[in-house]
Structure 1
Amino acid sequence: MRLEPITNPTLSRKLAPPTIALVMTFVIAAFLAMIAGANPFSVFGLIVKGAFGSKFALLETLNRATPLIFTGLAVAVAFRAKFWNIGAEAQLYAGALITVLLGTGLLPWPSGVLVPAIALVAIVSGAILLLLPALLKTRFGVDEVVTTLLFNFIFLLFISMLLEGPIKDPMGMGWPKSARVIPEARLPRIVDGLRLHWGFALALISAFCIWIIQTRSTLGYEMRAVGLNKEAAAFAGIPVNLVLLKTALLSGGLAALAGFSEVAGLKGSLTLDLSPGFGYTGIIVAMLALLNPLGVVVAALFVAGIFVGADSMSRAVGVPTYLADIMLASALLLMVLAIMLTRFRVVRG
């Protein structure tokens, strides 16, 4: 058995494997729900109802999807150029840290100036954090999977040190958290009285802008060319290393916006558990979206809906919320296989 490349895959060839992958994901989840002693249809119905069945549930799902859109975009941008950014978690915390440092009264500016300024500096912080692994890759050939992954642990330990010392809230009753950002540094609510904030709108705008960059700009063409064949791109005169550096800067900045939106829009302060793994879940989102920026929005809503709906489902029928984690892990593995089958066919010989 061997794999044979498909030069011009048909539309059905592109759509069938991902569709089958999603169906198989639900089949696996249904089997596990049955093992847990629950009706699979009731489980799936409760997940959908818990995620989208009321105004409150819908807005909570949109809130949960906001950082996933940013980290999913960060991963999709990097993976498109075959720069394997596994460090979106660290870049998220870099954006959150900048938001706290600048948003707790250091800059006495009005909200209309302060919020964009913090967002811009947060973007720069995430970009710089990913720049070092990119330089190590382009200059010395160091595997970026290793460096970006290790940066997650290094930066989280750095954040932990800061929360136990320099930026610890003296009014926090001993809890390791930062001071709250001032009202002028907060993202306003989209709906008064509810938690959905303008970070969600910023995420949608970012997805559209990345789609424009990837489909309508020279940089987008260069990123796709480098991702498809680095040697051929270099032969055609594309500066491969420079494109990888630009890709890294864009990817890191997008991931940092997730931290900015979580602090400025939702939490108001920095804690070590600010992210329950948004950076890693962004990989699943990007793969489910087949690295398409607009697809990232749909995939993020799907993933957020599973997480939010699983909470209420678990309370109703007693099935552990780990079912959501298994569904997403299965979806990722099956989607990777599906992507391979859209580009290769299995032949004998």
Structure 2
Amino acid sequence: MRLEPRENSTLLLKAMVPVSAACIALFCCSLLILWAGASPVDATILLVKGAVGSRFAISETLARAIPLIFTGLAASVAFRAKLWNIGAEGQLYAGACVATWLGTGMIDLPAGLMIPFLFLAGALAGGLLLLGPTILKTKFGVDEVVTTLLLNFIVLLFVNWLVFGPWKDPMAMGWPQAAPVVDSAILGHMIPKTRLHWGLAIAVATAVFVWLLMRFTTWGYEIRAVGYNPKASNFVGIPVNSTIIRTALISGGIAGFAGVSELCGLRGYLTLDLSPGFGYSGIVVAMLAALHPLGVLLSSLFIAVLSIGADSMSRSLNISNYIADVATAVSLLAVLFSMMLTRYRIRWR
């Protein structure tokens, strides 16, 4: 058996990448469910019902999809320029920290100004956090995978120190959390008596904006060109290093949006468990979407359905809800393998 490069890949073949990845993930989960002693058919029905079977379930699924959209967009923008940003988790917390610092009384603005101000401040924090590893990459050739990944742990330890130390809310009955943000910083609910907030509209608008940026602007063309071939881009006059730094600011800024959205829309205060790994799940979302900004909307919804539906399924069938994590990991591996098959065909000898 050998791999032979394809001369061209059809649109249908590329479209089959996320579909096949989702099917492979569901098949592997069915085997695990069967191994656990439950019926895969019953489990699938319960999973779908738990995710979209009621008004409350739909609102929970959409609320879970909001941070995944932001972190998926952050990864897709960075990966387009071959900037391997694995630090969206830390950038999310950086945005949440700045929003907490400014939104707990330091700045007093009306709600119509306060919320945009906090999102811009959170984006600046996330972008600056990614700027350091990007400069190390462009100036000294340091691998950004290592630096962005390690920064996640540094930021989490810093947040841990804040919520147990100087920012600990004395009214929280001893729980490690910061003081709540002011009322003008709270995102309203889209559906009454649910947790679905207007961060969803901001996330969808951000996805459309990123698509327009990447598709119809000079900046987007330069980002895509640098990702395809940095040497050729440099030859035709595209500033490669400046483009990568600009991409880092955009990518980190979008990840910072996720932190502000979760803080002001869902929790209202900073905690160490603000994110259960949205930054890492965003990589899977971006790969499932083939790095397409509008595709991120669908892939984030798929991951959210798995996550919310698995909780309901596990309670009903008494099996582990970690099956959703397995499905997410298998989806990523399946996408990588399927993408390889779009570039190469298998020849048997």
TM, length-normalised to structure 2: 0.97
Query: Deviation string for 1:283-334 (max 9, x for gaps)?
Result: 1111111111111011111101111011111111112101111111111101
- Corresponding position of 2:209: 209
| Paired amino acid for 1:66 | I
Partner of 1:95: 95
Q: Distance in 2 between matches of 1:230 and 1:195?
A: 44
CA distance in 1, matches of 2:29, 2:60: 23
Per-residue CA distance 1:254-300 (angstroms, 9 max, x = gap):
00000000010110000001100000010111111111111101111
Residue 87 of structure 1 deviates from its aligned partner by: 0.2
Q: How does 1:72-91 map to 2 (within 5 A)?
A: 72-91=72-91
1:276 correspondence with 2:276: yes
Q: Which string of whole-angstrom CA distances, capped at 9 and with x for unpartnered residues, describes residues 167-219 of structure 1? A: 11121222211000111111111122221111011000000000001111111
Query: SS of 2:290's equivalent?
Result: coil
1:298 aligns with 2:311: no
Give runs of aligned pairs for residues 96-111 of structure 1, distance below 5 A.
96-111=96-111
Read off the aligned partner of 1:216 and give its amino acid letter. Answer: F
1:18–1:339 CA contact under 8 A, matched in 2: no
Shift of 1:6: 2.6
Aligned residues: percent identity? 54
Alignment: residue pair count: 349
Aligned residue in 2 for 1:222: 222
**Distance (whole Å) between structure 1 residues aligned to residue 301 and residue 17 of structure 2:** 21
What is the CA-CA distance between 1:17 and the residue it aligns to? 4.2
CA distance in 1, matches of 2:89, 2:131: 15
Structural mapping, 1:213-292, within 5 Å: 213-292=213-292
For 1:271 and 1:18, how far apart are their aligned partners in 2? 34
| Aligned residues of 2:30 and 2:40 also touching (Cα < 8 A) | yes
Stretches (4+) displaced over 4 A: none
Q: Would the aligned equivalents of 2:75 and 2:251 in 1 still touch at CA under 8 Å?
A: yes
DSSP 3-state at the match of 1:299: helix
RMSD: 1.3
Letter aligned with residue 164 of structure 2 = E
1:22 Cα offset (Å):
2.3
Q: Distance in 2 between matches of 1:96 and 1:17?
A: 34
Match in the other structure for 1:143:
143
CA deviation vs aligned residue, 1:78-121 (integer Å, no higher than 9, x gap): 01111000000000001111111111111121111111111111
SS at match of 2:3: strand
Structure 1 residue 23: Cα displacement: 1.9
Residue 297 of structure 2 aligns to which amino acid in structure 1?
Answer: V
Q: Indicate the SS of the match to 1:346.
A: strand
Deviates more, 1:3-12 or 1:36-45: 3-12
Deviation at 1:230, TM superposition (A): 1.4
Distance, in Å, in 2 between the alignment partners of 1:57 and 1:42 is 18
What is the CA-CA distance between 1:27 and the residue it aligns to? 1.4
Unpaired stretches in structure 1, ≥5 consecutive residues: none
Distance in 1 (CA, whole Å) between partners of 2:62 and 2:16 is 28
Q: Give the alignment's TM-score, normalised by structure 1.
A: 0.97
2:284 and 2:208 map into 1 onto residues whose CA distance is 20
Alignment of 1:290-329 (within 5 A): 290-329=290-329
Matched, 1:60 2:28: no
Deviation at 1:224, TM superposition (A): 1.1
Shift of 1:40: 0.6
TM-aligned CA deviation for residue 250 of structure 1: 0.3
**Contact 2:21/2:288 (CA < 8 Å) preserved in 1?**
no
Q: Distance in 1 between matches of 2:265 and 2:279?
A: 18
Q: Deviations over 1:141-191 (max 9, x none)?
A: 000000000000011111111112221112122221100011111111112
